[in-house]
């Protein structure tokens, strides 16, 4: 039996650069692993792929991403081995935290070891990207830039934040609907020529903002919605443009987090989870207690850097940074 943690992600930034000829959107996103994790138990079987999960909303048949990962790997390697995978879910599902994608990436890495396969990294990344746009990121972890569909991953210097809070108001925001209702200026084909800008500059700016002690922020927080500083800042998620007006409760979560002392807050991915940054643990824990009192799910987390992320797979991850 092999047991591995499968971490969640947030997006520090998510920009839609345009619509591509293949119908996908061209993204530029800075992704980050955080220490909220599912637990995956793997045990070898002769031939079958069998999936169990303690969460009622997660399918355990061939629709499950870990099932798809195992099946695709087996087919690619041309072998007839089996595995039983038990998922203990802690990451809220369909919540913009990448839970399914993370599970799929961890499954690929675990099965390389259990089935004793030696797949070239380039091929591993290509399998991951076929499973889903967020899956390649979870082969690398830490702070990464994602471009293309978000599946072309470039490791960046780590952004470290100790006092994060994830909040989910239990609203289901269908990813497809979000992308379908983007404003036309974000989906012009010519917008893709905006790439590339200075990525290092963008990263430096985000990281400086996250690490700085915000001086003027406190006057700006509170009840004046117009003064909430996140829009002026570098944390940015273009998917909020269609989502917040349609789901006012999410905008309320964002506002309330700032009222409760967060220095910034942003929706993660296509939602509906919002993350917030706090200066200290006490304010964060008080905010978590208040939000839970409103019936919302609130989980304090911290960032997980790449070396910690990869220490789970030290034997497997030989050279994932240099896969390209
Ligand atoms: P995305 O933004 O790509 O939709 P997400 O992070 O918002 O991802 P996930 O938790 O990955 O959402 O789940 C999306 C859907 O995928 C769920 O509704 C669930 O039915 C299905 N699913 C398949 N496999 C898994 C898995 N292993 N864990 C969670 N959900 C899974």
Q: Is the pLDDT of residue 232 over 60?
A: no
| 99 alpha carbon – ligand 1 mean position (Å) | 6
pLDDT reported for residue 191 = 56
Domains of the chain: 2-157+306-322 (3.30.230.10), 159-301 (3.30.70.890)
Segment 82-103 mean pLDDT: 97
| 43 alpha carbon – ligand 1 mean position (Å) | 22
Q: Is 310 within 8 Å of 138 (Cβ atoms)?
A: no
Give the chain's mean pLDDT.
Answer: 86
255: β partners: none
pLDDT reported for residue 321 = 43
- Which atom of ligand 1 is closest in space to residue 57's alpha carbon? 20
The encoded tokens of residue 96 equal: 């913009």
Distance (Å) of CA 126 to CA 11, 105, 255? 22, 12, 40
Separation of alpha carbons 132 and 105, rounded Å? 10
Q: Is the pLDDT of residue 85 over 50?
A: yes
- Choice from 39, 65, 174 to test ligand 1 binding pocket (greatest atom count within 8 A of CB): 65
Separation of alpha carbons 131 and 68, rounded Å? 7
- Which atom of ligand 1 is closest in space to residue 95's alpha carbon? 7
Q: Hey, what's the torsion of the CAs at 295, 53, 164, 301, to 10 degrees?
A: 120
- The CA-CA-CA angle for residues 29, 242, 90, to 5°, reads 60
Q: Hey, what's the torsion of the CAs at 282, 287, 289, 290, to 10 degrees?
A: 140
| Residue whose pair of structure tokens reads 């922020």 in the numeric block | 217
The tens digit of pLDDT for each residue in 114-156 reads: 999 999 999 999 999 999 999 999 999 999 999 888 999 999 8
Q: Is the pLDDT of residue 192 over 60?
A: no
Q: Is the pLDDT of residue 165 over 80?
A: yes
Give, using CA atoms, the residue closest to atom 30 of ligand 1: 100
Give, using CA atoms, the residue closest to atom 28 of ligand 1: 100
Name the range with the highest mean pLDDT among 25-34, 94-103, 142-151.
94-103
Q: Is the pLDDT of residue 49 over 70?
A: yes
Q: Is 135 within 8 Å of 72 (Cβ atoms)?
A: no
* Percentage of the chain exceeding pLDDT 90: 68
Segment 265-272 mean pLDDT: 94
pLDDT reported for residue 193 = 52
- Choice from 61, 100, 243 to test ligand 1 binding pocket (greatest atom count within 8 A of CB): 100
Helix (H, G, I), strand (E, B) or coil at 149: coil
pLDDT reported for residue 205 = 65
- Which atom of ligand 1 is closest in space to residue 175's alpha carbon? 4
Q: Is the pLDDT of residue 274 over 90?
A: yes
Give, using CA atoms, the residue closest to atom 23 of ligand 1: 64
Q: Is the pLDDT of residue 158 over 70?
A: yes
Q: Which residues line ligand 1 (CB under 6 A)?
A: 57-59, 63-66, 87, 93-101, 103, 134, 175, 269-270
Q: Which residues are catalytic?
A: 9, 134
Separation of alpha carbons 223 and 103, rounded Å? 40
Give, using CA atoms, the residue closest to atom 4 of ligand 1: 94
The tens digit of pLDDT for each residue in 202-224 reads: 666 677 766 654 444 443 333 33
- Choice from 94, 135, 149 to test ligand 1 binding pocket (greatest atom count within 8 A of CB): 94
- Which atom of ligand 1 is closest in space to residue 96's alpha carbon? 7
């Amino acid at each position: 039996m092999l047991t591995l943690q499968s971490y969640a992600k947030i997006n520090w930034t998510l920009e839609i650069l345009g619509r591509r000829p293949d119908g996908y959107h061209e993204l530029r996103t800075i992704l980050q692993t955080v220490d909220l994790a599912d637990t995956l138990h793997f045990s070898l079987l002769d031939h079958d792929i069998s999936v169990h999960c303690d969460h009622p909303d997660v399918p355990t048949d061939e629709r499950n991403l870990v099932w798809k990962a195992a099946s695709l790997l087996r087919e690619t390697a041309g072998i007839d081995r089996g595995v039983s995978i038990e998922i203990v879910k802690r990451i809220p599902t369909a919540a913009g935290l990448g839970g399914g994608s993370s599970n799929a990436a961890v499954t690929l890495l675990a099965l390389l070891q259990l089935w004793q396969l030696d797949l070239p990294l380039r091929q591993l990344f290509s399998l991951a990207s076929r499973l889903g746009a967020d899956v390649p990121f979870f082969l690398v972890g830490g702070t990464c830039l994602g471009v293309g569909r978000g599946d072309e991953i470039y490791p960046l210097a780590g952004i470290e934040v100790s006092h994060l809070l994830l909040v989910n108001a239990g609203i289901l925001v269908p990813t497809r609907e979000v992308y379908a209702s983007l404003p036309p200026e974000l989906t012009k084909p010519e917008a893709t020529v905006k790439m590339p800008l200075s990525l290092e500059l963008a990263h430096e700016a985000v990281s400086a903002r996250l690490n700085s002690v915000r001086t003027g922020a406190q006057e700006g927080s509170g009840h004046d919605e117009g003064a909430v500083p996140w829009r002026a800042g570098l944390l940015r998620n273009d998917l909020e443009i269609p989502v917040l007006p349609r789901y006012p409760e999410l905008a309320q979560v964002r506002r309330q987090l700032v009222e409760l002392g967060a220095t910034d807050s942003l929706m993660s991915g296509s939602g509906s989870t919002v993350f917030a940054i706090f200066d200290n643990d006490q304010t964060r824990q008080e905010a978590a207690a208040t939000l839970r009192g409103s019936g919302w799910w609130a989980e304090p987390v911290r960032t997980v850097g790449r070396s910690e992320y990869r220490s789970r797979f030290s034997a497997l991850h030989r050279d994932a940074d240099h896969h390209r």
